[in-house]
Structure 1
Amino acid sequence: MMMLNIDDSGMARPYLRENIVFNHAHTEISTGTTLFACQFDGGVVIGADSRTSSGTYVVNRVTDKLTPLAKGIFCCRSGSAADTQKVADIVRYQLDFHRMQMDRDPTVLEAAVACRSICYAYRDDLTVGLFVAGWDESLGGQIYSIPLGGMLLRQPAVTGGSGSTYIYGYFDREFRSGMTKEECAKFVSTGVALAINRDGSSGGCVRLAIISKDGVERRLIKGDCVPRFSIC
């Protein structure tokens, strides 16, 4: 039986290939995503998937959503790709200027406040959710969450993005304070992998960054090596 499409004028047209409109080019590009961060004694571990989408179209399957802002400071981006990239660019410029003016590296809190100020000032215009995480000499490892609206909250561990709704149970069950670096890395990578298996807006590979006084260690779990989970 032929399927019919009712257009705006009320005319019925068959679903022919030439009548199908691919509108992903007119859809805002989004980092509908899974973000994860956890603090350990000596630093923090942050992780994210790598899928960027425009509607149902995957525009980039290897996006790096862990964006460096300054020495030892990263932000994890979710929301509108254009908005998050621009906020990160502006904050990176501000922190670089701050470093030259103050003759010292900025702290994680200063980076988080800079992000929060922009997100709050333009809260009606931006679709941005950020985690700012890193290590500095004053407070050690820190994670700050900046959700839509511009609130700033320090947390020992946090997850966000569209995929986070699928892994809150895992997050609440498995998180504990005092984890080692490798335990945190396992906690974060497994959480992102679980979300990739369930969330259609999360996918690709798993990117991790371990930030401590020794610097930044980047890890990558390629797409074909991401663990698959099944209830069967």
Structure 2
Amino acid sequence: MLEETGPEWMTEEVKTGTTIIAIEFNGGVVLGSDSRVSAGESVVNRVMNKLSPLHDKIYCALSGSAADAQTIAEMVNYQLDVHSIEIGEDPQVRSAATLVRNISYKYKEELSAHLIVAGWDRRAGGQVFATLNGLLTRQPFAVGGSGSFYVYGFVDAEYRKGMSKEECQQFVVNTLSLAMNRDGSSGGVAYIVTIDEHGTEEKVVLGNDLPTFFDQ
């Protein structure tokens, strides 16, 4: 007699599946992510916000194991708050990215997560940093997650240096929409965060409002 068990997804690691992206514009950054969370082949959450604040004007985009990515973000958020009090001013984006890189590398055997860090500070303006396996690089834009494999050609072709804030916001929405149409692990709604010296603006684009590339 077979032993009765619960649904298979209950024993699977919960992963964000994911498409995440961040891009610099003159004066700030735009981050974006889809919202689907899966365990095995099952979708367990359709509307998780994978853009996590690390400080007032610094965010990170999460991919990999949902629990691991959130743990790293919470650790960095706490350390940045302490660091900000110690220095008496807001932390730099590079400091946040360095903390993410250090924690990810130190616990690389235990944690499975990839974070993109982006934000604005008064010293260097808008910045995007990719962190992976001990690597820390500033880039004009970065993509990650399972959906990124479907959009590398698109972003390479569509990216232009010097795009405006509005063009970068549309670039992020278009990239997410394309990935969500192609990648079975990405989907739901699109979360968008725009950061500049004036503050942080959060936006949700519902699935029905995302552009489609398959009408023609």
TM-score, length-normalised on structure 2? 0.95
Q: Deviations over 1:168-224 (max 9, x none)?
A: 111110001000000000111100000000000000001111100011111111122
Query: What's the CA shift for 1:227?
Result: 2.3
Give the unaligned 5+ runs of structure 2: none
> In the alignment, which of 16, 40, 43 is matched to residue 58 of structure 1?
43
Q: Deviations over 1:103-160 (max 9, x none)?
A: 111110110111111011111221110100000000000000012x121111001111
Matched, 1:133 2:118: yes
Question: Highest CA radius of gyration, 1 or 2?
Answer: 1
Q: Deviations over 1:24-45 (max 9, x none)?
A: 0000000110011111101011
Matched, 1:230 2:208: no
Q: Give, in whole Å, the separation in 1 of the partners of 2:49 and 2:213.
A: 24
Query: What's the CA shift for 1:22?
Result: 3.0
Q: Give, in whole Å, the separation in 1 of the partners of 2:37 and 2:215.
A: 27
Q: Give, in whole Å, the separation in 2 of the partners of 1:227 and 1:218.
A: 19
Query: What's the CA shift for 1:53?
Result: 0.7
Matched, 1:96 2:87: no
> In the alignment, which of 171, 177, 186 is matched to residue 170 of structure 2?
186
Q: Give, in whole Å, the separation in 1 of the partners of 2:21 and 2:43.
A: 21
TM-score, length-normalised on structure 1? 0.89
Match of 1:213 in 2: 197
Match of 1:79 in 2: 64
Q: Give, in whole Å, the separation in 2 of the partners of 1:21 and 1:92.
A: 36
Q: Residues 90 and 179 from structure 1, CA distance in 2 versus in 1: closer, same or farther, beyond 3 angstroms?
A: same
Matched, 1:45 2:30: yes
Q: Which range moved further: 41-50 or 217-226? A: 217-226
Matched, 1:33 2:29: no
Q: Residues 174 and 102 from structure 1, CA distance in 2 versus in 1: closer, same or farther, beyond 3 angstroms?
A: same
Match of 1:106 in 2: 91
1:163-182 matches, cutoff 5 A: 163-182=147-166
Aligned-residue CA RMSD (Å): 1.8
Q: Give, in whole Å, the separation in 1 of the partners of 2:142 and 2:94.
A: 16
2:135 is paired with a residue whose SS is coil
1:163 is paired with a residue whose SS is helix
Q: Deviations over 1:11-62 (max 9, x none)?
A: xx9xxxx999731000000011001111110101110000011111111111
Give the unaligned 5+ runs of structure 1: 1-12
- Percent same amino acid at aligned positions? 47
